Structure 1
Amino acid sequence: IINAPEVAILGLSKNQMKPVFENGQFVPRLMLPLSLSYDHRVIDGAEGARFIVHLSRTLKDMRRVLL
């Protein structure tokens, strides 16, 4: 639940090894679930989705964080 004056809450869960299908086989990958809740009166849904995609791509390659 978003409480004023907050407009969004980013949630991170425990990372876990999960099987991911890649190049015709399952390989183990460390997965970190992300969750974003936001007030749609302030943040458009498309903008929220773009933010999560950007954050996910950044976290996948930590070299981007250092640039």
Structure 2
Amino acid sequence: MMVVVNEKQVEVDEQTTVAALLDSLGFPDRGIAVAVDSTVLPRSHWTTRLSDGARLEVVTAVQGG
């Protein structure tokens, strides 16, 4: 099935969770926020399975001034 991550289409298995997708795409373990279909998803819900057509926005915190 297909999902969209930061405006890029990604093919995933039906059993793929948010956490597994982030790991497979190389996102860091800390310092990121995830929204699925425009709703912020708490880290405690990253075990949620993705659905076909889901749209994810992943934002990485950047330190600096």
Using the size of structure 1 for normalisation, the TM-score is 0.21
More helix by share: 1
By relative contact order (CA 8 Å, sep 6+), the higher-ranking structure is: 2
| Structure exhibiting the larger radius of gyration computed from Cα positions | 1
